[in-house]
Amino acid sequence: MISSNIKAVDYDEFEKRLEIEFKNGISFFYYLVDEVTFQNFLQSESKGKFYNRFVKGKFPSEKKI
């Protein structure tokens, strides 16, 4: 379990694309995410707080269909 709301994460280092899958079944792609941000996300104590503070609204994104 990654967090109470986040089910899984995946990162493509070549495309700098972060994928976050939420437990409600919705997934988003976040673009132009540097590897340091991804590593900090993985190491954060609270994935949800990190997501809300450093990812959500900070990078171009789209809902995965």
- With vertex at residue 55, the alpha carbon angle to CA 23 and CA 16, rounded to the nearest 5 degrees, is 100
Cβ atoms 29, 17 nearer than 8 A? yes
Cβ atoms 40, 56 nearer than 8 A? no
Q: Look at residue 1 and tell me whether its pLDDT is greater than 70.
A: no
- Predicted confidence at residue 4, as pLDDT, reads 87
Strand intervals (E) in 1-65: 6-12, 17-22, 27-31, 61-63
- Predicted confidence at residue 37, as pLDDT, reads 97
Give the model confidence (pLDDT) of 2-61 as tens digits: 688 999 999 999 999 999 999 999 999 999 999 999 999 999 999 999 999 999 999 999
Q: pTM of this prediction?
A: 0.91
pLDDT range class, residue 63, cuts 50, 70, 90: very high
Q: In terms of DSSP H, where are the helices of the chain?
A: 35-43, 47-50
